[in-house]
Amino acid sequence: MGILGFFNKEKKETLDKGLSKTKESVFAKLTRAIAGKSKVDDKVLDDLEEILITSDVGVETTLKVINRIEERVSRDKYVSTSELTAILRDEIAALLTENNTEDREGFVLPEGVKPYVIMVVGVNGVGKTTTIGKLAYQFKKAGKTVYLGAADTFRAAAVEQLVIWGERTDVSVVKQKMGADPASVAFDTLNSAKANNADVVIIDTAGRLHNKINLMNELTKIKNVMKKVVPDAPHEILLVLDGSTGQNAFEQAKQFTAATEVNALAVTKLDGTAKGGVVIGISDSFRIPVKYIGLGEGMEDLQVFNRKAFVNSLFGE
């Protein structure tokens, strides 16, 4: 087994397929930038900077990557353009893994925390409910007892959508009527979960309220009510970001992390977009780890984010 031993073939295929648009776009630009050139010079580096920025890596992260490559070029004197993708891959992987936290292997819950409570937040349409369904599937598959709480009571369809995911994955869903108090739904969910000795609770929340202040106040209220049942809940506040919105996802991450105690990120919809580079920028720019990536609408299309696997998939191994 290599470093990616746990990362099986099927998962790699989903990742490669999901990232293919981003990869094609980056490579097309790279090919153009180095056409007719044999050596990495200032012009190539300038073009590379532009490629990374237009691939949604973000300015700050791009500059770090360029600096690293510049250092390497000045150290090695002659760097051929044919080495450029390999160098990019190595330097981006090194940058992302520098802050030495290990990538997790698989959908694992911390030991001794029961129920482990995950509150899922994010603006409307980013993929919260779908991500919850996919997580429910994975935890259930791992033999865990899962409870879902339909605390997005803003729309009737939201509750139904979660109920469908509950049926599909064969896990319990706690709900009330549309318009019910979301905090009350969360309270009920935690009580049921506790009474049934559940391993994990995932709370869905509304992404759309009358305004941003309302939304943040409501999230705070849900959090506080949950503590009455499980004092250290929520253990995880998972912010879901739509990767296909590129820099917008970045902005949302900034706003949410400033307003709530988000401690995990999920970046969805990386399939079908050329903006997958945004994961590199987000992973580098926020202290909060990108925990999951969404690569499709199916149950199996959520992966635990692995920085090396991601960069390898994007720039070839």
Residue 276 tokens, joined: 């997958």
The yes or no reply on residue 127 touching ligand GTP (CB under 6 A) is: yes
Give the nearest distance from C-beta 269 to Mg ion in angstroms.
14
Residue with structure tokens 């099927």?
10
Contact (CB, 8 A) for 133 and 169: yes
Question: Which C-beta is closer to Mg ion: that of 62 or that of 131?
Answer: 131
Footprint of Mg ion (CB under 5 A): 128-129, 158
Q: Positive or negative CA dihedral for 263, 135, 309, 274?
A: negative
Per CB under 6 A, the list member of 11, 64, 114, 128 interacting with ligand GTP is 128
Residue 146 tokens, joined: 């899962």
Q: Which of the ranges 1-9, 75-83, 89-97, 267-275 carries the binding residues for ligand GTP, by CB under 6 A?
A: 267-275
Per CB under 6 A, the list member of 106, 125, 179, 316 interacting with ligand GTP is 125
The yes or no reply on residue 289 touching ligand GTP (CB under 6 A) is: no
Per CB under 6 A, the list member of 268, 303, 312, 313 interacting with ligand GTP is 268
Residue 280 tokens, joined: 């590199």
d(CA 91, CA 93): 5
Distance of CA 276 to the CA centre of its chain: 11
**Helix or strand (DSSP H, E) at 183:** helix 182-195
Omega before 110 within 30 of 0, i.e. cis: no
Binding mask 166-205 for ligand GTP (x = CB under 6 A): ----------------------------------------
Point out which residues bind ligand GTP (CB under 6 A).
122, 124-130, 152, 158, 207-208, 268-269, 271-272, 294-297, 301
